[in-house]
Chains A and B, each alone.
Chain A
């Protein structure tokens, strides 16, 4: 058996750190630095309320401003009342000044509508939250996202106006505001005032078209196709292709010189149903008159134009005024029609004094030859309008009033005159005995038919005969005959030998007859004288007067 030696280890204390610790320490330092760096450079944390979290993913969904990533969604949670979601987002550093009360957020998703197509890029990149930063206002960290993107970018040059409407039409956010067919703005948002029963629209007119908005600017609806059937005929209008599909508003300035003053701040305007109504609203002062219609007012509408020598100067205000002496059931009842004449439309100032001036002038004319008549503006619609004109031969009816309104003398409408004449003509036509007339015409036609048949038969026979004739031979024969006749006539014409001999022969014959005449007279007296001489007749001879007396 061998002996083993036991060796004991000598423990020596460590005098320095092992080199192996360098790497972990280094890693730790880097880690700490990274955490610090991350903590020092992270932006603020904000919360955004959304209707839903469609397409939003934690740590993936970005927040973009001007298409630049400035934040990321960190968490999503439901609201306590379950009416929406609250997303928490970490914004980039140095974005605190952009997070104010005027900053807007909205979810960008693919949107296709009649007015816009946007967000299609999110089909590939995914949904994100867009931010419209604003440095004005107080800083905040909780926001409510907009349901749809803002119509007008923040800070866009232009002017904001507020439009109101009490009509039956409605506009929505994004509907265009057009001018001369060009889109110059949008309706940003809509607010309905329950008390006033009016809808208010905040609209934005972009530059440089905001310079067109003055105190005299009027707005009217330019939606779809506008079809107007009135006394002037049929009018079809559309503002632009966009308004053809959606609603739209347009505006204009008066054409009679007064452009108004430019506005620089939000101003209120009313949206009129159409341009005509908008234009009329420019004039606020008018003179009212009454015309008394004897025949019918069918086809005449309230608002129908009143023209003077072709110029529209007013409108029909009311048809059928009621007054204290309601004589509707009397035989000679005349329908009162109230008309309004605008001094502003004839170049006068839109003031009460112009109204008085117009009234005085109309009164003066009414006592001369000025009168009103209903005329048909359109055969298609049958619409009537009131025509004011001067006409010689109008009887002077004096100045009349109806319910404190001055009455303008009225003549029978041209359509009524035409119908009266047509009625008289139809009565005359009615009185014609068509039965007898038609019987006579039938007989005449029969006779004509028979005559025509006879003529046809005759012409057929003549045709047959003519076909059997040799035209050329006949012509030659006729020419020869005519030549022979001409030669013969020459032979007997004056101065020819034949004519001389003929005349001499006739004269000789006459002489012979004269010579034989006594014998013929004798034979006539007594035929037997030819053989027997009888007693001599008494022969009368002229004698001188003395011989007669002797006898």
Chain B
């Protein structure tokens, strides 16, 4: 009884003494992209496989690179949605917007069964830096099964400079980088023979 009372008393003190930390939640895919993509009949269907992120990017806290190789996770800034899901949604919207002759669908979608090509993306870095830039780099593969199996591997690396401070602005810049990546992939799709 005494122990319980002591424990309860300590808790009350802790609750009184500490100030709650302010947590900020960020959404990657809030920027308006052409979300209402129209299905294009007769167009080639491309299946977007599950995005592969570097392990350190799967944390819910927003990272920032400090120096050459140090990563700092912000304790008060977290992703509202798992980054992988946000990135997939953003890429699908942008790809269907830029690739006018293709229908890009997710792997889980039912219409992925009629896909004749496949898109795989691996992201190695996707964060702001302490030098005032936001960067993304990785590799994407285009796999075409018809008429013969062809695999096209393309590394990518993009960077933009921040115009404001704060994680909110860096998130918007990260969204821009995704748009740039989607445009690059769309250009490859348009150039590849069906």
Interface residues of chain A, those whose CB is within 8 Å of chain B, are: 514, 517-519, 521-522, 529-533, 537, 539-548
Residues of A within 8 Å of B170, CB to CB, are: 542
Interface residue tally of chain B, by bracket?
20 to 34
- Nearest chain B CB to A111's CB is how many angstroms away? 111
Q: Chain B 37-69, CB within 8 Å of chain A: the 1/0 string?
A: 000000000000000000000001100101000
B residues contacting A by CB (< 8 A) are: 10, 13-14, 17-19, 21, 23, 60-61, 64, 66, 72-76, 78, 128-134, 161-167, 169-170
Give complex CA distance A519, B165 in Å.
25
Q: What residue in chain B is nearest A544 (Cβ atoms)?
A: B162
Contact: B131 with A545, CB < 8 Å?
A: yes
Per CB-CB distance, the 4 closest pairs between chain A and chain B, nearest first, are A545-B132, A542-B128, A531-B14, A542-B170
A529 CA / B13 CA spacing, docked (Å): 12
Closest chain A residue, CB of each to CB of B80: A514
Residues of chain A within 8 A of B21, CB atoms compared:
518-519, 522
Please state if A544 and B164 are interface contacts (CB–CB under 8 Å).
Answer: yes
Q: Is the interface of B mostly helix, strand, loop or mixed?
A: mixed
Question: Given known contacts A540-B72, A540-B74, is B61 in contact with A517 (CB within 8 Å)?
Answer: yes
Contacts of B61 in A (CB 8 A): 517-518, 521
B60 to A544, Cβ gap below 8 A?
no
**A545 with B76, Cβ < 8 A, contacts A518-B23, A532-B17, A533-B17 known:** no
Q: Which partner residue on chain A sits nearest B164 by CB separation? A: A544
Contacts of B64 in A (CB 8 A): 540-542
* B60: chain A residues within 8 A (beta carbon): 514, 517
A521 to B72, CA, bound (A): 12
Are B75 and A518 closer than 8 Å at their CB atoms?
yes
Closest to A517 in B: B60
Interface centre among A517, A531, A543, A545 (most CB of B within 10 A): A543
Q: Which label, helix, strand, loop or mixed, suits the secondary structure of the A interface?
A: helix
**The residue from B10, B18, B161, B165 contacting A541, defined by CB atoms under 8 A apart:** B165
Task: Check if A541 sits within 8 Å of B17, measured CB to CB.
Answer: no
Inter-subunit contact A532/B74 (CB<8 Å): no
Residues of B within 8 A of A521 (CB): 61, 73, 75
Q: Which residue of B lies closest to A521 (CB)?
A: B75
**Closest Cβ neighbor of A529 among chain B residues:** B18
Is there contact, CB below 8 Å, between B75 and A548? no
A37 nearest CB across to chain B (Å)? 143
Q: A517-B78, A531-B14, A542-B166 are in contact. List 5 more A-B contacts (CB 8 A).
A: A522-B21, A541-B165, A541-B167, A542-B162, A542-B167
- The residue in chain B whose Cβ has the minimal distance to the Cβ of A542 is B128
* A548 smallest CB distance to B (angstroms): 5
CA distance A270 to B38 in the complex (A): 122
> Which of A514, A530, A546, A547 contacts B14, CB < 8 Å?
A530
Report the minimum CB–CB distance from B85 to chain A (whole Å).
11
- Contact A533:B19 (CB < 8 A) given known A518-B75, A518-B78: yes
Residue of B nearest to A531 (CB): B14
Question: Which chain A residues border B164 with CB–CB below 8 Å?
Answer: 544
> Judging by beta carbons under 8 Å apart, are B23 and A532 in contact?
no
Q: Which residues of A contact B132 (CB under 8 A)?
A: 542-548
- Among B19, B21, B61, B73, the one with the most A-chain Cβ atoms within 10 Å of its Cβ is B21
> In this complex, what residue of A is CB-closest to B19?
A533
Roughly how many angstroms separate A547 CA and B60 CA in the complex, as a whole number? Answer: 27
Distance of A539 Cα from B128 Cα, bound (Å): 14
Q: How far is the CA of A54 from the CA of B10 in the complex (A)?
A: 167
Known contacts A543-B162, A547-B165, A522 near B134 by CB under 8 Å: no
Pair B166/A533 contact, Cβ less than 8 Å: no
Instruction: Chain B residues near A545: list those with CB within 8 A.
Output: 131-133, 161-162
A548 to B133, CA, bound (A): 11
Contact A542 B130 (CB under 8 A): yes
* Residue in A closest to B62 when the chains form the complex, CB atoms: A542
Task: Find B18's partner among A517, A531, A539 (CB 8 Å cutoff).
Answer: A531
Q: Nearest Cβ distance between residue B14 and chain A, in whole angstroms?
A: 4
Q: Which residues of A contact B76 (CB under 8 A)?
A: 518, 539
Q: How far is the CB of A6 from chain B (nearest CB, A)?
A: 197
Does the CB pair A540–B78 fall under 8 Å?
no
Bound-state Cα–Cα, A540 to B73, Å = 9
Within the complex, which residue of A532, A537, A540 is in contact with B66, where a contact is CB–CB below 8 Å?
A540
Contact A514 B78 (CB under 8 A): yes
Q: How far is the CB of B19 from chain A (nearest CB, A)?
A: 6
Q: Closest chain A residue to B165 by CB distance?
A: A543
Report if A532-B72 is in contact (Cβ < 8 Å); known contacts: A542-B134, A542-B162. no
- Are A532 and B18 in contact, with the CB atoms below 8 A? yes
Closest to A537 in B: B75
**A531 and B78: CB pair below 8 A?**
no
CA distance A542 to B133 in the complex (A): 8
Q: Is A548 a contact of B131 with CB atoms below 8 Å?
A: yes
**Which one of A514, A522, A544 contacts B165 once the chains associate, using CB atoms below 8 Å?**
A544
8 residue pairs A–B, Cβ–Cβ below 8 Å: A522-B21, A540-B130, A541-B64, A542-B167, A544-B163, A544-B165, A545-B131, A546-B132
> How far, in whole Å, are A542 and B160 apart by their CA atoms in the complex?
13
- Cα-based distance from A529 to B17 in the complex (angstroms): 9
Minimum CB–CB distance from B60 to chain A (whole Å) comes to 5
**Bound: A540/B166 CA distance, A:** 9
Expressed in whole angstroms, the Cα–Cα distance for A247 and B78 within the complex equals 130
Q: In the complex, A517→B76 CA distance in Å?
A: 10
Whether B18 contacts A542 by the Cβ 8 Å rule is no
B101 to chain A, nearest CB (A): 33
* Complex: chain B residue closest to A539, CB-CB: B74
